[in-house]
Amino acid sequence: MEKVKLLIIGAGPGGYVAAIRAAQLGLDPVVVERLDLGGTCLNKGCIPTKALIAAAEVYDAVLNSKTMGVFCEPSFDWIKVVEHAKNAVSKNRKGIQFLFKKNKIRLVNGVAEFTGTKTVRVGEIEFDAQNIIIATGSKVKDIPVFAVDGEKIISSDHALFQEKLPESIAVIGGGVIGVEMAYIYSTFGVNVTIIEALETIIPFEDHEVSKELTKEFKKKKIKIYAGVCVEKVVKRDSKMVVILNNGVEIEVDQVLSSVGRSPNTDGLGLDNAGIETDERGFIRTDSCFRTSVEGVYAVGDVIATPMLAHTAEHEGISTVEQIAGKDVSPVDYHLNPGCIYCQPSVASIGYSEREAVEKGIEIKVGKFPFSANGKAVASNHTTGFVKVITEAEAGKIIGAHIIGYGATDLISEFLPAMKLGATVHDIIESIHPHPTLCEATLEAALNSIGRTIHM
């Protein structure tokens, strides 16, 4: 039995970032990983998706370059596009390997299984750990009526790297993965249909943002069925037929199931340690990420907090700092930004307009379209808007929603602002550089108090 100070199970963004911080704090972490460093985010999530999206954006720009006086013959080689995504993964993986070496972090390849409350077996080795962090992430949620087979019915795991694009695809689930993949595939010429059970695609975003993305996707000829459920998916000759509960039948070459993810706890032996899970299988923790067993913590997708890489990183760091005896403030999920990287891209933080109204908060809303922003007009990125939600009286910012080019970077203006309890007046009194897309955030702030300049 090997005694260790800290054992981290899983080397995704939750686990590997926690390990680096733990090493900095002298906790000598040992990390167990059964697959590759970087987890879903790096190997089959955020990073390869962003590489494919970057390629799609370049192709999109080439397709539309004539309006800027640039003429070229657009063409692409999907295999090379996928190669670009694989290269991005491998370069980033080498980066984590380097960081592990630099921080002298021991990595054990293998499957971890609890054998007792604080003991974990990995192959031949058994660890007795003072503290354990479970960061085992999530896996694709599989629905029996359209079970993923990896060929005709695929998940994002397959969609990112498949060698050949289908002529048509039905995307079941218009959430984050659904719209990002729909953007990539449709840009590269695939006939895409999205089916979403709720009333709109990206239903968790501010309603005006969902509406704008729907409008833009329709312009790209993406078909959208919202507010309908898939009854079943059947094979008909070489095609797949998606049968909806309103009687509509959609015939396609492939189906992408993107209806959410579920926690990865299979084979972990949680029962051997007495670690409790909730009714959906997520590991139960308190707000300090402590599980039902003292000294065992859980962070990231395996707990019931937003399934986002940056959230997992934040939770991992917070946990390690607590273990090291530091004073840590609880993670504030109200200030947890969400980003969707299709084009137009989407980013948000805080309350949507509907949420604020439902909470009975008296609000003001400020909005400014990119079509009235100088930089956006100059660079042909006029789609979308910035929307800011404030508490009516003092103008305190309680929500910000951006759809348009650069949204996922622009949202950062609101992060420290909201953390510091800023009002729209603080934004207005900050000189914004000209010409930039971030002037649209300034104008949205001005709009909330009826003082817009450029509209």
Binding site for ligand NAD (CB under 6 A): 45, 143, 172-178, 180, 195-198, 203, 229-230, 258-261, 307-308, 339-341
Output Rg (C-alpha) for the chain, integer angstroms: 23
**CB of residue 49 to ligand NAD, shortest distance in Å:** 7
Residue closer to ligand NAD by CB (options 123, 150) is: 150
Active site residues: 434
Residue closer to ligand NAD by CB (options 174, 399) is: 174
Residue closer to ligand NAD by CB (options 33, 301) is: 301
CA distance 230 to 384: 30
Residue type, 70: V
Which helix (H) or strand (E) segment is 355 a member of?
Answer: helix 353-358
Residue closer to ligand NAD by CB (options 258, 448) is: 258
Helices vs. strands in the chain: H and E counts, helices first: 15, 22
Residue-wise over 5-33: b if at least 16 C-beta within 10 A, else e? ebbbbbbbbbbbbbbbbbbebebebbbbb
CB-CB contact of 93 with 17 (8 Å) = no
Contacts 24+ apart (CB under 8 A), 285-294: 287/330, 287/331, 288/318, 288/319, 288/322, 288/328, 288/330, 289/133, 289/315, 289/318, 289/319, 289/322, 291/134, 293/117, 293/118, 294/117
In 10 A of CB 288, how many CB atoms? 13
Residue-wise over 364-401: b if at least 16 C-beta within 10 A, else e? bbbbbbbebbebbeeeebebbbbbbbbbeeebbbbbbb
Residue closer to ligand NAD by CB (options 240, 273) is: 240
Residue closer to ligand NAD by CB (options 141, 454) is: 141
Residue whose C-beta lies closest to ligand NAD? 175
CB-CB contact of 413 with 347 (8 Å) = no
CB-CB contact of 283 with 275 (8 Å) = yes
Residue type, 120: V
